[in-house]
Amino acid sequence: MRWFTAVLAILGVAAAGLWWFAARIPASPFDDRPASAAHATPPEQREYAARLADCVACHTTEHGAPFAGGRAMGSPLGTIYTTNITPDDDTGIGAYTLAEFDNAVRRGVARDGHRLYPAMPFPSYANLSDADVEALYDFFMTQVKPVRQDNRPTTIAWPLNMRWPLAFWSLLFSDDGPYEPSPDRDDAWNRGAYLVQGPGHCGSCHTPRGFAFQEVAFDESDTAFLSGALLDGWYAPSLRNDPNTGLGRWTENEIIGYLRDGRNRHSVVFGSMLDAFNNSTQFLTDADLHAIAHYLKSLPGDPDRDGPPWQYDPATAERLSNGTAPEAPGAAIYMAQCSFCHGTDGRGRGPWIPSLAGASSLLSSEPASAINLTLNGAGRAVAKGIPDIYRMPALRAKLSDHEIAEVLTFVRAAWGNTGGPVSAEAVAELREDTDAASGEVIILQMR
């Protein structure tokens, strides 16, 4: 009986310890900061921190108020809706102290102690400097209009919707910042690493996720970091120097141009990157854009993963030009629906209409982005306040699942592309789960 009592006591103490850990409010370097302290960060620094972190992309819906939340985020467990982060005292974050804001942003713990789902990129934001956290807090509290809008509950069913296990998820899978510069690297590399790993949270989309929906790597020490990932109906390509599915054929200046202008000779922004461009990357300083490009070009590719480098094959262009290719499934659809813009040579029209020959989405074994773009078209990029003229139209009303599968199978094997075939079933699945891209644009006006 004494042994039984002792075991129960040990189990009770262990359970109490685990519950304390799950329910505790983590310490913050701002714990001693009085709630009445003035917002001392210069306005320009606040605005720039908000551009870097690009909070608007997730926390603003197409027709909603800025930062009022409500955007649906797909997950393997169900739909998560982003929350209201305006400074409304009741439904937003207006009652948050700087320390409470810091815990939510860098540690995934809300003011009342409940844990945030990792759809919020706090594993990346853990790298944020104290100065950028303070600048973000001052931005939200002084430059964002309060909006009273209740948060929508998730569709995740019990018991998977319980939040307390996320404390242990964070312990296992969340990065521990802030970012520490590498003494072996130059200032530009360290700045680029900070921007990519921290506020830019590039790994949230471009790094593969594991069995618990965790990013499998957080920095350049692991070759899986930024090696490409499927997320919410899009395939975010590799940002490493992979020659086919990554940036191996891009120069530093081409990366800078893509982030600043939304396009280059290789690609045009689409999918989630469109939101990041419209509200974040085009507003970064030249020095920061150079730092990002410098860091990304330092990440080696993986020949075993990516295969031999892509090379242009003119055979498809010759067959399309002389009329022999339309006998192949999908070729006639390409000529009728796609060739006017993308050309029989698949090379598009300068930087305005992207090349299909050698496009990462057509070289990747994962066809989600190609299917999504064909079904739903591209949103509108706005560079320096000017909306783009040429947009990929939605073809969901014009083409059946079978026809889209055929034309994508054709282009993924044309001009030297090696992406592989696309099934009608894969198209049907994305047709049901996605909607046509709207021409509306969410642009955050800072002033």
Annotated binding-site residue numbers for heme c: 55, 58-59, 202, 205-206, 338, 341-342
Peptide bond into 309 cis (omega under 30): no
Contact 229, 205 (CB under 8 A): yes
Neighbours of 46 (CB within 10 A): 23
| Cα 139 to Cα 331: distance, rounded to the nearest angstrom | 52
Distance CA(281)–CA(262), nearest Å, equals 9
% helix, strand, coil for the chain, step of 5:
40, 5, 55
> In angstroms, rounded to a whole number, what is the distance separating the alpha carbons of residues 162 and 173?
18
Dihedral (CA of 71, 73, 74, 79) sign: negative
The dihedrals phi and psi of 117, each to the nearest 5 degrees, come to -70, 150
In eight-state DSSP terms, residue 326 is G
State the Cα angle at 389 between 387 and 391, rounded to 5°. 100
What are 41's two structure tokens? 């960060």
Residues contributing to the annotated binding site? 55, 58-59, 202, 205-206, 338, 341-342
Return the beta strands (E) in 289-385 as ranges.
Answer: 382-383
Q: Residue 26 corresponds to which tokens in the numbers above?
A: 């983590």
Tell me if the bond preceding 159 is cis, omega within 30° of 0: yes
Q: Are 346 and 357 in contact (CB under 8 A)?
A: yes
Does residue 106 contact residue 96 with C-beta atoms inside 8 Å? no
CA-CA-CA-CA torsion sign (341, 353, 302, 227): negative
Residue corresponding to tokens 């150079």: 290
Determine the Cα angle at 419 with ends 415 and 425, to 5°. 125
Burial 241-253 (b: 16+ CB within 10 A, else e): bbbbbbbbbbebe
Number of Cβ within 10 Å of residue 433's Cβ equals 11
